[in-house]
Structure 1
């Protein structure tokens, strides 16, 4: 990796903006200056909901814990998000709001460490903003939606701080909280009633951004929504929304979207809700509204036990095809309607499923017969042939390796590839990548696992000190790849094109070249990188 002169210039320029324009520009449209209790000059913005006072952090104006919807508590639990009523006077926006209620284990796990930390509270519908200046510059906007298997994560995690993108790209960055687990994903049915409360939260947040981001120096007509895993699934689901007659966002970044999930129907979701009610000993939603949220979240552990299937990524709570908030597979929303005009950057990691299965000793002992039974779910009439194909693709593969590659393809790689194929066939803009750099952590068993690309995208390894899966990475290789990826993401957000000097030319994915960027120790534009797997499943090409 070589240093990028254009990137150094961008860093220098955005640094000047952050340090020089911030205070002088605060008197612009929708902004003011105020002295904080500590005597520092603090950024203040005037919004329809009321006045907000943020803080200056590292030369950026930062606003934390900003409510974008009414607290979903009491009678509003399991109701669609409603507008926030606003506040009198000046609201301090210098501390993050509580994260959405979720399971938490002190010390975390062997892969990410922690993914969402206390405090937790149902009153969690807040967002956070990083901007070089709350002025009238109309900067491109990035909205980040965190993942977490629909049960964990937070927009206030240090991992997802908007600092690097705002400073390095001269962007306005917004991160959001939304309802998780049972509070966001249970479905109760009823005539014309919708579910997907998580979706209504995210939609409310995007509407808030479109209506208010100009006051923070952002351009409401130049918004990119980005997310990873469950967050990337959300980005696709939001693509079909078009309130007020115009698209909510112009570009989409989907990192490891689990587009292979079988989204439950209303009937299937009601059955899952019945399982949850049985665990809690409640008969309906009215009784559940009287249950304290810690008990609701604790029941997630039993939901794992009741819903888990061998050889499948465990997801105790799932979105629902309710016909109200979501009536189609999210990938379809990026093919027709308002979603067809959105520029898309999509990709996956080479060994996605190693995240969930690579360190599991039970799966390490899996037999060929066990894995063949699972392969049969995907290839009913060609299980033996498919098993052999996966085995030959990885010399020395154990049964668990075949299983992990199959799950990676089922959930992530091939559905993402199918979306790229279908958009390309329609002449719609799409760029594809595969993250190939393996981590040496845990003896290499994780390889290029799910989530591994995140610190490279944000280029903020100092914020990931708690994450065991980064141990042992060569700093020179790590930092070089991070600089390349971070600059590509910034370029895409700013221009709709991920290319920048000096990386290799990254062409759009089309049906002739099938260009896919391999992100590794050496970044390479490859033709039909996943062709072996695509040909194994011909339906992907349709």
Structure 2
């Protein structure tokens, strides 16, 4: 039965026990709700276990600790920080926002209906698999709950060494993070009706690493029936994910850095020592011209049977509604402010291109990128290459393959550049987030938003926010305040461009798609690179 708020809209009764939340700006909020046992002690590096519940009324008015992670005092120069204390291993909780008014107006003649369960949006935060929190103010579900009449859930889950190390292959392997997220989705299925949500109308959305997680969940056998739609914001589908042997090698390197000879010794270390060792693994695994990823999902043939991008093409996931998008200059987030990459030479970038396309094709590929951006410096070519490799081209290939199978997706590119930091970031990774959530007041700490014209900023935020709401509610992102947005079909390749002027364009990513498809083949064959460049 749907929860119809009454005299105490901040109180709900669940099978696990009673919760008391709070009313914030007209929205009922329930914070730090446990969905699994704390993964501490012997449960560290074990699959998530069901929570037994509690007696009495549990206070749900304050955020719980976020997953342990590296923390930079004062924040970083782009986001201003992506996780803040307190941190603790006892972090497997979620937050729920639900409208504090009935779904339909009430009058003496028309009392509140015991019906109309609301669509549900589940948010999975990103953060390179090492940072972030579902409790961050910028990921508050308040705007979606209020503006879209939705029930919104944000999830905390294990990240970094606690989520991705492979210590007990027979007991969860390397993908402990995935057991957390599956447990959270099962919790939503079993409990969301108490908050007025419809368990049969769940959309799972995530950005960056959270989008990779969302794709992995969509194709997981245990998630069958737990979601109807997914929104994939900047999924790094171009990452080369390790197999179990690769996971073991990285785990062995981490053990050495942490000074532990056995799993038992590692289990005995306090979590701050585990997080401290993460810095050493960053240093060990970082390569020039590549996004640093010391921890990654592992294709183990069980929890993650195939690359998450493949999971959206097979089985039950093939019938899930999909929205996917990227920002025009994703890689600027990680590289534009780094002196070692900003000063890249043509020779360095050509060598980096050769890693992907082969040495014979590399000069022609460099020239194609240079032509596509008049006045491009070598650093610009490098960042466009990384954007294409990690984000744009793999996303477009997914759209192409789903279109071929008759299951099109809704595709977009976020193009609005930020003037912050001398304009060096462009339309960087993460920049679309405050527009999607339409909550710039929660992003006041983020340097990358400085200088955006309020009228342009707010107008685009309204367009995107309402499109996301429409997709969650209906599977179609169209609404009256935007141009017609058609699915990505093989003959039209419609892609919505979100910029100061919003427009639906055909084959917006065509140059990148053709370059990587044609030049990639040419590089593999060791011939024909010039023809690939000529297609630009």
Structure 2 length as normaliser, TM-score?
0.92
Q: How far does the alpha carbon of each residue in 1:213-259 deviate from its partner, in whole angstroms, 9 at most, with x for none?
A: 00000000000000000000000000113448x42100000000000
Alignment size in residue pairs: 508
- 1:439-450 alignment to 2 at 5 Å? 439-450=418-429
Q: Residue 229 in 1 paired to residue 208 in 2?
A: yes
Structure 1 SS opposite 2:317: helix
Q: How far does the alpha carbon of each residue in 1:456-501 deviate from its partner, in whole angstroms, 9 at most, with x for none?
A: 0000000000000000001000000000000000000000000011
Give the match for residue 109 of structure 2.
Answer: none
Give the match for residue 458 of structure 1.
Answer: 437
- Please, which of 360, 381, 399 is the counterpart of residue 378 of structure 2? 399
- Please, which of 237, 248, 257 is the counterpart of residue 270 of structure 1? 248
Give the match for residue 61 of structure 2.
Answer: 94
- 1:28-43 alignment to 2 at 5 Å? 41=8, 43=10
Give the match for residue 108 of structure 2.
Answer: none
Give the match for residue 341 of structure 2.
Answer: 363
Aligned-partner Cα distance in 2 for 1:523–1:541: 32
Deviation of residue 327 (structure 1)? 1.3
Structure 2 SS opposite 1:252: strand
Query: Which consecutive segments of 4 or more residues in structure 1 shift more than 4 A?
Result: 28-34, 539-542
- Please, which of 27, 32, 35 is the counterpart of residue 68 of structure 1? 35
Q: Unaligned stretches of 5+ in structure 1?
A: 1-27, 35-40
- 1:239-250 alignment to 2 at 5 Å? 239-243=218-222, 246-250=224-228
Q: Residue 130 in 1 paired to residue 97 in 2?
A: yes
Structure 2 SS opposite 1:473: coil
- 1:317-356 alignment to 2 at 5 Å? 317-356=295-334
Aligned-partner Cα distance in 2 for 1:136–1:374: 58
Deviation of residue 284 (structure 1)? 2.4
Aligned-partner Cα distance in 2 for 1:439–1:62: 32
Structure 2 SS opposite 1:112: coil
Q: How far does the alpha carbon of each residue in 1:481-523 deviate from its partner, in whole angstroms, 9 at most, with x for none?
A: 0000000000000000000113110000010000000100000
Give the match for residue 83 of structure 1.
Answer: 50
After superposition, the CA RMSD in angstroms is 1.7
Do the aligned residues in 2 keep the contact of 1:32 with 1:45 (CA within 8 Å)? no
Do the aligned residues in 1 keep the contact of 2:325 with 2:412 (CA within 8 Å)? yes
Aligned-partner Cα distance in 2 for 1:164–1:68: 24
Aligned-partner Cα distance in 1 for 2:172–2:473: 39
Deviation of residue 31 (structure 1)? 6.7
Structure 2 SS opposite 1:226: strand
Q: How far does the alpha carbon of each residue in 1:130-177 deviate from its partner, in whole angstroms, 9 at most, with x for none?
A: 001487531000000000000110011010000000000000000000
